[in-house]
Amino acid sequence: MKAFITVLLAVLHGGAGLAILIVSSWFIAACAVAPVNFNYMLPAVVIRALALLRIGSGYAHMWVGHQHLLQLTSVLRMRLFDRLFAGRIRQRSEEVEALASHTEAIAAIWVGWVSQQASAVLMLLASAISLLVLDIPFAGWTVVLGGLWLLTIAILCWQGLTLAKEQVLKEREFRDESDVALRSVALWHLKTVTGQFAQLPSAQSLWQVETRQQQLTLQSQWLFQGLAWGLMLAIIYLAIHTSSAANAGNPLLLVVPMLLLSAGDWLGRSFTGQGALNRYVQGQRALRELPVESLTLLPPLPLNTNLTLTAFGSSNLSAQQVTADFASQGVYLVSGPSGVGKSQLLQAISGLVPGHGERVCDGRPTGPGLVEGWLYLEQQPIILAATLKHNLTLGREYTDARLYDALAKVGLAQLTQLNEWLGPGGRVLSGGERKRLGIARALLVDSPVWLLDEPFEGLDADAVSHLVTLLQAEAQQRLIIIASHLYPQALKFTNKLVLS
C-alpha cells in the first residue's frame, strides 16, 4: 500500500510542477495581449495553489517513501535472516554487503526509480491528452516528445545495466584483493612504504566504471534535452511561417514551446534514477548468487549441568585438541596469543564452523551442527544501515521498555531515540559502542550459552567496568565463555583455558 502511495505522491508532485509550467506559460503570454479588465488574480491564485500542492506532495513523497523503504528493507532482511538461519556466508565482506547494502538497494527501487518513471509516463500522457482535448496549437508534438523520451530511457537502461554487470565483477575482484591485503596486515611493518603501496589493491578500474555510469546519465539527459529543443525550434519556425493570422496573438501558442524548453527539468529525474535501477539489479544478482554454506541445524539444547569437550576443536585447525569441562553457569576464559585459534574454538562450540572431537551437553553427545540458541558474538558486530530499534530487534518483537533496559545494562543509556538512524547518513557508532550493542542483542535473547569473542577490546575503563558487572550478573543464569588475549583484573572467572 505504501509503495502505491509513494508512486501516487511522486506523480502528484511532478504533475503539479507540470501544471504550474502550463498555467504560467499561458499567463505570461496572456498578460502581453490582455485587455484592461483582464482578471490577473485568478491565474495567480491557481499558480500559488499548485505551488503549495507541489511542495506538500514533495514532502509527503519523501516521508511516505522513507517509511516504505524502512519497512521493505526490514522485510528483505528478515527473509535473508531466514535463509541464513541454518547457513553462513563464507566471506565477511559478502555478509556485510548482503545485510547492509543489497537489501537497502532492492528496497529503494520504488522510491529511487519506479516512482520517477511512473511520474514521467503519466505526466507525458496527461500533457498530451489534455493539450489535444483543449486543442492547444501544436499539441501533437508532445506525443513526439514522449516517443523521444521512451527511446532515450530505453537506451540508457540497456547501457546502464550492461555497465552495472561490469561493476559487479569489478567490485567482487576489488573485495577479494582487499581481503587478501587486510589478512596480511601483520606483515606490513616488514615492508617498505613503496612496497606496501605497490601491493595494495587499486580501485581505479572500479572508479572508471562508476564514472562511465555518471557520464552515461548526463549524456542521456543532454541528448534528450537537445532533441526537445530541436522540436521547440521546429515549432517556432512553423508558428512564424505557417500559422494563420487568427492564431498570431493566441497566448496558447506559448504552451507547447515552454513544455519543450523545460523538458529536461520536469522529466530529468527519470534519468537520474538510473543509478537506483543499477543498484537494484546488482543487489538482486548478489543475493541470488550469495555464497552460503548450509549448516546442520540442531534443536535448542538447554544446558542444565555441564558442557564437556573432548579432543575438540575447529576442523579448520586439525592440531587443535581441547579437552575441558564447563558448568552450566559461570564465566570461563579462553586465552592465548593472537592467531592460536580462540575464535575458531568458539565458533566450533556453537557449530558455526565444523568441529572434530566430541561435544557433550548434559551427558549426551550433541553431534555435529549448529545448536539453535547458542550465541556466538563476534569481535566486530555488524551494524545495519537502519534504525537503532531495527538493529536491536533484528526482526523480533520486543517492547520499547525492554529495549531501553538492555541499552542501559550495557552502558548505552545515552541512546535514547529508538528511531535514530545508524550508519551512513546517521549516527556512526564507535568500536566500543558496536560491541556493547552486540551484547544488548544477546541480552534480548534468552540463551543458555554466550560465546564472546574479544568483548573488552576497544572499550575504555568505565565501559569495561560496566561490562564486567553485567557479565558477572548474567553468569548466574547462563554459561559465558570469553575468548580474549586481554581481560580485566576485576573479572571473576570460574576457570581459565590457555591455548598454545
Q: Is 326 helix (H, G, I), strand (E, B) or coil?
A: strand
**pLDDT tens digits, one per residue of 161-216:** 888 888 877 777 777 776 666 665 554 555 555 555 566 677 778 788 888 888 99
Q: Based on the domain organization, do 48 and 148 belong to the same domain?
A: yes
pLDDT-wise least confident of 14-28, 85-99, 397-411: 85-99
The pLDDT confidence band at residue 144, using thresholds 50, 70 and 90, is very high
Q: Based on the domain organization, do 256 and 376 belong to the same domain?
A: no
Q: What is the dihedral of CA 76, 78, 81, 86, to 10 degrees?
A: -120
Sign for the pseudo-dihedral over CA of 413, 418, 421, 422: positive
Angle, alpha carbons 471-473-478 (nearest 5°)? 75
Identity of the highest mean pLDDT range in 81-85, 430-434, 491-495: 491-495
Q: Based on the domain organization, do 119 and 238 belong to the same domain?
A: yes
Cβ distance 271 to 120 under 8 Å?
no
Residue closest to 228 by CA, chosen among 158, 124, 131, 157:
124
Identity of the highest mean pLDDT range in 17-26, 55-64, 100-109: 55-64
What phi, psi does 484 have (nearest 5°)? Answer: -160, 145
The pLDDT confidence band at residue 98, using thresholds 50, 70 and 90, is low
- Once rounded to an integer, what is the mean pLDDT over residues 16-45? 74
Between residues 42 and 160, which one has the greater pLDDT? 160
Q: What share of the chain is helix, strand, coil (3-state, %, to 5)?
A: 60, 10, 30
Contacts 24+ apart (CB under 8 A), 233-236: 235/138, 235/141, 235/260
Q: Based on the domain organization, do 261 and 351 belong to the same domain?
A: no
Q: Identify residue 386 by its one-letter amino acid code.
A: A
DSSP conformational letter for 111: I
User: What pLDDT sits at residue 220?
Assistant: 92
- Once rounded to an integer, what is the mean pLDDT over residues 421-427? 77
Q: Based on the domain organization, do 137 and 263 belong to the same domain?
A: yes
Order of strands across the sheet with 495-498?
A: 375-377, 449-453, 479-483, 330-335, 495-498
Rounded to whole angstroms, the Cα distance separating 136 from 114 reads: 30
Neighbour count for residue 270 (Cβ, 10 Å): 26
User: What pLDDT sits at residue 274?
Assistant: 86
**pLDDT tens digits, one per residue of 361-396:** 998 998 888 888 888 888 878 787 778 888 888 777
Q: Based on the domain organization, do 277 and 245 belong to the same domain?
A: yes
**pLDDT tens digits, one per residue of 300-333:** 888 889 999 999 988 888 888 889 999 999 999 9
Q: Based on the domain organization, do 196 and 328 belong to the same domain?
A: no
Q: Based on the domain organization, do 84 and 196 belong to the same domain?
A: yes
DSSP conformational letter for 147: H
Q: Based on the domain organization, do 256 and 400 belong to the same domain?
A: no
* CATH number for the domain harbouring residue 382: 3.40.50.300
Can you spell out the DSSP letters for 412-476?
-TT---TT-BBSTTSBPPPHHHHHHHHHHHHHTS--SEEEEESTTTT--HHHHHHHHHHHHHHTT
Question: Where a domain ends, among 241, 270, 293?
Answer: 293
Residue closest to 389 by CA, chosen among 378, 401, 403:
403
Question: Where a domain ends, among 246, 278, 293?
Answer: 293
- For residue 416, pLDDT over 90 is answered with no
Q: Based on the domain organization, do 174 and 272 belong to the same domain?
A: yes
**pLDDT tens digits, one per residue of 227-281:** 999 998 988 888 777 765 555 567 777 788 888 888 888 888 889 888 888 888 8
Between residues 195 and 360, which one has the greater pLDDT? 360
Burial 22-35 (b: 16+ CB within 10 A, else e): bbbbbbebbeeeee
- Total domains in the chain come to 2
- For residue 148, pLDDT over 90 is answered with yes
Query: pTM for this one?
Result: 0.68
Q: Which residues partner with 479 through β-bridges?
A: 330, 449
Structural domain of 175: 2-293
Name every residue whose Cβ is closer than 8 Å to that of residue 179 and which is 6 or more positions away in sequence.
Answer: 91, 93
Rounded to whole angstroms, the Cα distance separating 272 from 265 reads: 11
The pLDDT confidence band at residue 31, using thresholds 50, 70 and 90, is confident
Q: Mark residue 444 as left, alpha or beta (left: phi above 0; alpha: psi -120 to 50; beta: remaining).
A: alpha
User: What pLDDT sits at residue 249?
Assistant: 61
- For residue 152, pLDDT over 90 is answered with yes
Q: Based on the domain organization, do 331 and 375 belong to the same domain?
A: yes
Residue closest to 453 by CA, chosen among 357, 305, 338, 355:
338
Angle, alpha carbons 493-498-499 (nearest 5°)? 145
Q: Based on the domain organization, do 402 and 253 belong to the same domain?
A: no
Going by DSSP bridges, is the β-strand pair 449-453/375-377 parallel, antiparallel, or unpaired? parallel
* CATH number for the domain harbouring residue 21: 1.20.1560.10
Question: Where a domain ends, among 268, 293, 318?
Answer: 293
Q: Is 191 helix (H, G, I), strand (E, B) or coil?
A: coil
Cβ distance 334 to 345 under 8 Å?
yes
- Once rounded to an integer, what is the mean pLDDT over residues 404-414? 88
